[in-house]
């Protein structure tokens, strides 16, 4: 197998390949652009018109999707998977991956859409570099643009595999894209209603790509992801890469649970207290009227919404960042557009 097909091995070893461009057969080119960043394209053959970005490892300890992308890339290198889409594979935070930690200095997935310009350090520079790589990759006119940023969560979840749909002014969720996610094993989608600073939010709002953050189970170390069932997603990505995707089934959309953000919990000070057990799972239902959190100057969050659920509760984030989201069920018809 050619060296660039072992991108994960190169990345974990901190090695830069001697040859940065390699050909597979007559038509497939692998181009190493940066540490953990590899472009797969066709030479002298027509592709299917899709520019596809698959990223993982934005948080270095979320290994199941990293292993999935490594499996797909090795299949391309062996010739088992014949690409007909342009593909950019991104391992987002190589140093955190090598350490087996979520991040090195600060959360990389809170530094996009220009937020990195306000910060210093390794992750801020990496966010800037990744924005440039995606901007270049998505610069060709007249092509479909799709970005899946693959993650696993810190904690367990009542809904194990779910997606987050970023927000952009003037854009609405695409039913066909949502149905595709449902067919790929995604059980729920959270529709966000304000601009974000995540990797997928940058692609969606600034590069006009269809983009989603996919949460695929619980974070575990490399080699310990046997309990994470990614078979449906693996099949969907395989078909996208080889251009063999069948039309989406409209009935799949009916199986998808949709949620919207009701409120964000922003941690303002070290006095912040979240009144939930450390073991609480994502999408746990909250009793209406209960006290959810407290912070400085007597500020309190009460659960006012019916059918409210909590996702991403994390009282240990830095001050000024989101310590959780309250979400409620919704429908596409209720989306303001």
- The domain ranges of the chain are 3-255, 265-331
Which of 261, 244, 232 shows the shortest CA–CA distance to 84? 244
Give CA–CA dist 37/71, Å, rounded: 15
Return per-residue pLDDT of the chain as tens, 337 residues.
468 999 999 999 999 999 999 999 889 999 999 999 999 999 988 899 999 999 999 999 999 999 999 999 999 999 999 999 999 999 999 999 999 999 999 999 999 998 999 999 999 999 999 999 999 999 999 999 999 999 998 888 999 999 999 999 999 999 999 999 999 999 999 999 889 999 999 999 999 999 999 999 887 877 777 777 899 999 999 999 999 988 888 888 999 999 999 999 999 999 999 999 989 999 999 999 999 999 998 899 999 999 999 999 999 988 988 899 999 999 988 776 5
CA quadruple 98, 234, 313, 191: dihedral sign? positive
Contact of 24 with 31, CB cutoff 8 Å? no
- Write the DSSP assignment of 228-250 as a string of letters: ---HHHHHHHHHHHHT-PPPPPH
Note the helical H segments in 100-230. 122-137, 175-183, 199-206
CATH architecture of 265-331: Beta Barrel (2.40)
Active site residues: 215
Residue 206 labelled as part of a binding site: no
Residue 62 labelled as part of a binding site: yes
pTM for this prediction: 0.94
Locate tokens 């006290």: which residue? 291
Residue 59 labelled as part of a binding site: yes
Contact of 87 with 127, CB cutoff 8 Å? no
Q: How does DSSP classify residue 21?
A: E
Which class does domain 3-255 fall in?
alpha beta
């Amino acid at each position: 197998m050619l060296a660039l097909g072992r991108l994960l091995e190169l990345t974990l070893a901190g090695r830069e390949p001697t040859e940065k461009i390699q050909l597979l057969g007559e038509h497939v080119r692998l181009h190493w652009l940066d540490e953990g960043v590899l472009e797969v394209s066709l030479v002298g053959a027509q592709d299917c018109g899709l520019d596809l970005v698959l990223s993982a490892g934005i948080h270095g300890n979320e290994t199941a999707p990293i292993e999935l992308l490594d499996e797909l890339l090795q299949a391309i290198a062996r010739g088992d998977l014949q690409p007909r889409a342009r593909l950019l594979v991104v391992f987002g935070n190589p140093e955190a991956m090598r350490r087996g930690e979520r991040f090195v200095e600060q959360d990389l997935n809170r530094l996009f859409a220009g937020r990195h310009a306000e910060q210093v350090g390794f992750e801020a520079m990496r966010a800037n570099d990744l924005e440039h790589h995606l901007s270049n990759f998505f610069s060709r006119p007249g092509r479909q643009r799709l970005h899946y940023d693959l993650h696993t969560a810190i904690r367990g979840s009542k809904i194990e595999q779910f997606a987050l749909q970023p927000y952009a002014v003037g854009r609405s969720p695409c039913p066909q894209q949502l149905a595709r996610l449902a067919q790929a094993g995604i059980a729920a989608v959270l529709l966000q209603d304000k601009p974000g600073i995540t990797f997928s939010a940058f692609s969606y709002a600034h590069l006009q790509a269809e983009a989603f953050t996919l949460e695929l189970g619980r974070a575990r170390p490399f080699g310990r992801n046997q309990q994470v069932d990614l078979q449906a997603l693996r099949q969907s990505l395989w078909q996208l890469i080889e251009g063999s995707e069948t039309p989406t089934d409209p009935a799949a959309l009916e199986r998808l649970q949709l949620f919207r953000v009701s409120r964000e919990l922003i941690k303002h000070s070290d006095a912040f207290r979240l009144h939930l057990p450390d073991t609480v799972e994502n999408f746990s239902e909250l009793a209406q009227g209960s006290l959810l959190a407290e912070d400085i100057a007597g500020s309190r969050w009460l659960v006012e919404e019916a059918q409210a659920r909590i996702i991403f509760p994390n009282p240990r984030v830095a001050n000024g960042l989101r310590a959780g989201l309250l979400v409620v069920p919704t429908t596409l018809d209720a989306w303001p557009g």
